Amino acid sequence: MSDAEFAQFQRFIHEAAGIALGRPKKAMVAARLAARVQASRARSYGEYLRLLQGGQAPAELQTAIDLLTTNETYFFREPKHFEFLRARLLENAARRPAWRVWSAAGSSGEEAYSIAMLLEDCLPGSPWEVLASDISTRVLERARAGHYSTARTSHMPPGYLRRFCLSGRGPQAGTLLVERSLRQRVRFLQVNLNEPLPRLGQFDVVFLRNVLIYFDGPTKQQVVRRVLETLKPGGWLFVGHTESLTGVCDTLERASPAIYRKPL
């Protein structure tokens, strides 16, 4: 991949998903797309990009976007966020009887199922809803299946694995399947945060974690503005511990590290 071709892919993924790829990502982009360039019989990365932009290969376009969006997560990542949410659920159970939570960059689903486990534990028998979205159809398929390596459960609260998951046997040893009744209460939807959002309704909590780091300043502002339109007054917004809304949004109250509240 030449420098000129990489610059073209930088513009492509920024326009498609809002992601800003720095110069050090050139080798990653080349490696992730190499097999697709060959499969499409393109003679170069530049020719492959022209195929994506030509509008004649929408499936290939989605595949390329899937490959260029990083998806790394595990159950109960950044545990202090879930401790904070647990406290809010228990404090406000009577005043907010039907909680709605959006995992806005849900990747392969571990975050969404972690939220669902917490809701079911704190609000047994109460109505609640978890929506999880991602730009990648590939990871959404994995999320709907709810089948994971047990290596991703090291931060899961004691008892949750036995209560909410089925352990794999034989050839499936070392894996888990999220219990069907829990899977059925989590809805997965493809959403591009860099575009106008579909009608999602209003949420009590939004997890927007570990995605803003891939956006430039103006894109961060646009994404946060769109997301905040779905957050109820008094609702909480969670971002990643390495992320900050300083210079991005000044209308929220900081409740805890990487946790913000929308004023009433």
**Looking at beta carbons, which pairs linking 26-30 to residues 24 or more positions away fall under 8 Å?**
26/1, 29/1, 29/68, 30/1, 30/6
Secondary structure of the chain in the HEC alphabet? Answer: CCHHHHHHHHHHHHHHHCECCCHHHHHHHHHHHHHHHHHCCCCCHHHHHHHHHCCCCHHHHHHHHHHHCCCCCCCCCCHHHHHHHHHHHHHHCCCCCCEEEEECCCCCCHHHHHHHHHHHHHCCCCCEEEEEEECCHHHHHHHHHCEEEHHHHCCCCCCHHHHHEEECCHHHCCEEEECHHHHCCEEEEECCCCCCCCCCCCEEEEEECCCHHHECHHHHHHHHHHHHCCEEEEEEEEECCCCCCCCCCCCCEEEECCEEECCC
3-state secondary structure string, 126-164? CCEEEEEEECCHHHHHHHHHCEEEHHHHCCCCCCHHHHH
Respond yes or no: is residue 32 known to be catalytic.
yes
List phi, psi (to 5°) of 176.
Answer: -140, 155
Among candidate residues 66, 77, 96, 134, the one labeled active-site is 134
User: Active-site residues: which are they?
Assistant: 32, 134
